[in-house]
Structure 1
């Protein structure tokens, strides 16, 4: 059986530009432009019939709205896709003098639990999943899947990360962004 989990990072948010320090910041004008381009980035039929999920945070929901009705069904809000309420990079232990914090480890466990649920509820039944989520979620999930707790990866806004499982084999494509012109690329 072959099944795919497609993770999409939301478009640029007002939090990233410093316009809004709320955890639930909305997309910038550029973030909306990036999200519109995402429709072509999924490719015709690539995600047809997929279960579509979105983080409850506004920037992810806004990004998912561009996909719903265009190439996919409307997204279901799924709480486990939520971003951490702290900066992952400052607490993940990537600095030698600073071990991973307890809240980073708890968030990473929650991401691993979410992956297990996706696999049990959807992938195991042969259903593909498209999930609009956040940088921290994608980083933690990749660290778990690849068995690399120290993995350092930059996930661009509106990039497409794909995990494809075929039997016991898994292939990973990280941060595909060819649908976003370089002038519109943000992290």
Structure 2
């Protein structure tokens, strides 16, 4: 069964009608992601050569998967817009930008690795991972990201039932998956999402939500 076919299969939510189906694509590789550095809304690295290749592979997969995309909506950041550009070209669509799909502001941890941030602010870093309302120094809490992503989701859902490609970053995509699953903020630290991975969350007008795909990277094989 195709990914689109699987996503359209009936579930246990009791939902009626067709959903707003958000196909979530993480951007491709950047120089900062090679070193696994915090790369938030304050940095704007472009894609590496491999990142462009990953984006093109994802675009080919999306164009052939059977989804009927009505729009491609991207974070404003360069790495996401470049990834979205490859997909939009394959789908014959234009790239729209939603500011609320930008990555977390990591404050003074921007550009640091996990280990470097933990060494600089050990107590704050540990508390940040456990408390979604606590922000990095000078940065943004997970709960704040979740709230603005929810606002973006509302605008997307307002278009009515449709397949929409959303190109963004780790934290905003996790926020949409968290909202689709109806689970707590532990998902932010327990879920891994690969570069150029595809996930799917569905939101129905009468309330139910579901997640039908997470971190699919088969197109990168």
Give the alignment's TM-score, normalised by structure 1.
0.81
RMSD over aligned Cα atoms:
2.7
Unaligned 5+ runs, structure 1? 182-187
Bigger fraction of residues in helix = 2
1:26 aligns with 2:59: no
Q: Which residue of 2 aligns with 1:2?
A: 18
Which of 153, 175, 181 is the aligned partner of 2:191?
Answer: 153
User: What is the count of residue pairs matched by the alignment?
Assistant: 176
Distance 2:36 2:26 in 1: 19
Structure with bigger gyration radius: 2
Structure 1 position 168, deviation (Å): 4.7
Distance 2:148 2:172 in 1: 9
Deviations 1:143-187 (A, max 9, x none): 233222211211111111111345654331111111011xxxxxx
**Equivalent residues in 2 for 1:27-176 (5 A)?**
27-44=47-64, 46-86=66-106, 90=125, 93-95=128-130, 100-102=133-135, 103-104=140-141, 105-119=143-157, 121-122=158-159, 125-148=160-183, 149-151=185-187, 152-165=190-203, 168-172=207-211, 173-176=213-216
Give the alignment's TM-score, normalised by structure 2.
0.69
Does the C-alpha gap of structure 1 residues 99 and 169 become closer, same or farther in structure 2, counting only changes over 3 Å? closer
Distance 2:198 2:178 in 1: 16
Deviations 1:45-85 (A, max 9, x none): 63334211111100001101111221240211121111112
Does the C-alpha gap of structure 1 residues 27 and 113 become closer, same or farther in structure 2, counting only changes over 3 Å? same
Distance 2:132 2:153 in 1: 24
Do the aligned residues in 2 keep the contact of 1:8 with 1:160 (CA within 8 Å)?
Answer: yes
Do the aligned residues in 2 keep the contact of 1:56 with 1:82 (CA within 8 Å)?
Answer: yes
Unaligned 5+ runs, structure 2? 1-16, 115-124
- Local SS of the residue matching 1:16: helix
